[in-house]
């Protein structure tokens, strides 16, 4: 009895030619994410990945899918010649609709790290690592440890976890919280409705639109 074959999406593939069109900040962000993934795989004991990528406009695309289906459904290695007619079974994959998402407005706490003592989450690596020698500044995170360099921001996440962020990525993602606006809003909300006139309340609220922001050191 043959097993039912079902295609799975297990990998994300990035073409090196496309990376060249990214900005320096985007390439740095990508490099940082790839470094994270490599560290996580290493800590899990996973072997390095070695893959063959066949694009859907290559004539071998359908043949390769036929070979994989034959092996997965029969448990045997397939002869290549008889599978050539199966290429028609695997046309180019349907293009999925790419959705856009907006990041939730979450207020975070962050400290810019330059030296020992700037943030308690930053430690000195006690053992040698592929990407970090002994004594390298290091932040343990939920996704494994990450190297910290002077100028990096140490962010406290919504669950109290910590992780580093490069200065340019931080400036593109976050802006200082306006604590003065919050204080004014709290003060206005605490005033009874019949204490001040509607006109005075409107003028006070107008201050929240013009009050300058103050960056927390």
Q: Evaluate whether residue 99 is within a structural domain.
A: no
Domains contained in the chain, number: 3
| pLDDT average, residue stretch 189-194 | 63
- The pLDDT of residue 213 is 44
Question: For the stretch 106-129, what's the b/e string if a residue is b when 16 or more beta carbons lie within 10 angstroms of its beta carbon?
Answer: eeeebbebeeeebbebbeebeeee
Q: Which of 117, 122, 160 is nearest to 139 (CA)?
A: 122
Are 116 and 157 found together in one domain?
yes
Are 169 and 193 found together in one domain?
no
| pLDDT average, residue stretch 102-124 | 86
| pLDDT average, residue stretch 160-176 | 87
Q: Evaluate whether residue 1 is within a structural domain.
A: no
**Phi/psi of residue 148, nearest 5 degrees:** -120, 135
The model carries a pTM of 0.40
Are 131 and 189 found together in one domain?
no
Are 24 and 83 found together in one domain?
yes
Euclidean distance between CA atoms 118 and 77, whole angstroms: 58
Are 49 and 28 found together in one domain?
yes
| pLDDT average, residue stretch 189-213 | 59
Q: Evaluate whether residue 6 is within a structural domain.
A: no
Are 130 and 163 found together in one domain?
yes
Which residue range forms the structural domain that includes residue 62?
Answer: 16-89
Strand order in the sheet with 123-124: 123-124, 137-141, 144-147
How much of the chain is helix, strand and coil, in % rounded to 5? Answer: 35, 10, 55
């Amino acid at each position: 009895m043959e097993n039912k074959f079902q295609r799975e999406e297990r990998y994300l593939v990035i073409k090196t030619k496309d990376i060249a069109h990214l900005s320096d900040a985007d390439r740095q962000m990508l490099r940082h994410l790839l470094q994270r993934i490599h560290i996580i795989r290493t800590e899990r004991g996973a072997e390095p990945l070695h893959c063959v990528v066949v694009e859907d406009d290559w004539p071998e695309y359908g043949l390769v899918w036929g070979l994989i289906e034959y092996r997965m459904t029969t448990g045997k290695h397939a002869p290549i010649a008889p599978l050539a007619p199966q290429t028609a079974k695997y046309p180019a994959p349907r293009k999925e609709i790419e959705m856009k998402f907006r990041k939730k407005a979450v207020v975070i706490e962050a400290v810019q790290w330059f030296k020992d003592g700037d943030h308690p989450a930053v430690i000195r690596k006690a053992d040698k690592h592929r990407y970090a020698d002994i004594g390298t500044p290091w932040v343990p995170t939920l996704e494994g440890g990450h190297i910290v360099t002077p100028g990096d921001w140490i962010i406290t996440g919504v669950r109290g976890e910590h992780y580093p962020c490069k200065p340019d990525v931080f400036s593109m993602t976050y802006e200082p919280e306006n604590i003065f606006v919050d204080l004014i809003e709290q003060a206005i909300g605490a005033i009874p409705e019949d204490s001040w006139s509607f006109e005075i309340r409107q003028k006070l609220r107008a201050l929240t639109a013009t009050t300058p922001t103050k960056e927390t050191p």
